[in-house]
Amino acid sequence: MSTVELTKENFDQVVNDNPFLLINFWASWCGPCRQFAPTYAKASEHHPDLVFAKVQTDAEEELAAAFGIQSVPTLMIVRENVAVYSQPGALPAPALEDLIEQARKLDMDEVRKSIEEAQSKG
């Protein structure tokens, strides 16, 4: 599957329409972003059931700010409208594959329960 370009205009719809979404926050001037791009593209081919998206942070400053993106590349995984992973840094292909498999195995009922418990204590 090709990678979806996320903008502030389509972000909510893409997130709401897709139960499993990987988002790569990147910038054209960023060397590690350019190095990570082929790895991300290849992973999207290996996982056609998932949606791979990109946010060009220079063009979408509001989106980057809304998610507190302070360094690029930053990879975020959103499952069922819950951000389950967000970490800066380019990943090698094996680490990205491992991360995707871990995210697939998450019990989202348990994740939501943990979030609710943490918020009630807060």
List 30, 53, 77, 96, catalytic entry: 30
DSSP conformational letter for 83 = E
DSSP conformational letter for 73 = S
List 21, 22, 23, 33, catalytic entry: 33
Instruction: Find where tokens 């990987």 sit.
Output: 22
- Catalytic, 33? Answer yes
Please count the helices (runs of H) and the strands (runs of E) in the chain.
5, 5
With residue 15 as reference, give the H or E element that holds it.
Answer: helix 11-17
Q: Dihedral sign for Cα 118, 61, 6, 17, please.
A: positive
Taking the mean position of all CA atoms in its chain, how far away is CA 15? 10
What amino acid is encoded at 39 in this protein?
Answer: T
- Catalytic, 30? Answer yes
Q: Which residues are catalytic?
A: 30, 33
